[in-house]
Amino acid sequence: MNKEELEKALKELEEQESLIKNELKKHETNAEGEGARNSEKEAVSITAVGKKFLRQAIATGNLKEALNKISNSIDLTKSALESFSQITEKAQMKLEGKNLEYTTQDGTILPADKWIPLFLSLMKTEEFQHLMANFLYAIVK
pLDDT in tens, 31-70: 555 555 555 566 667 788 888 888 888 889 888 988 888 8
CA–CA gap between residue 15 and residue 23 (Å, rounded): 12
Domain boundaries of the chain, sorted by first residue: 1-98, 99-141
Confidence at residue 101, expressed as pLDDT on a 0 to 100 scale:
78
Distance between CA 56 and CA 7 in Å, rounded?
20
Instruction: Give the C-alpha separation, 22 to 28, whole Å.
Output: 10
pLDDT tens string 13-34: 788 888 787 777 776 666 555 5
Given a contact cutoff of 8 angstroms between Cβ atoms, the answer to whether 110 and 104 are in contact is yes
Burial (CB < 10 A; 0-12, 13-18, 19+), residue 90, is middle
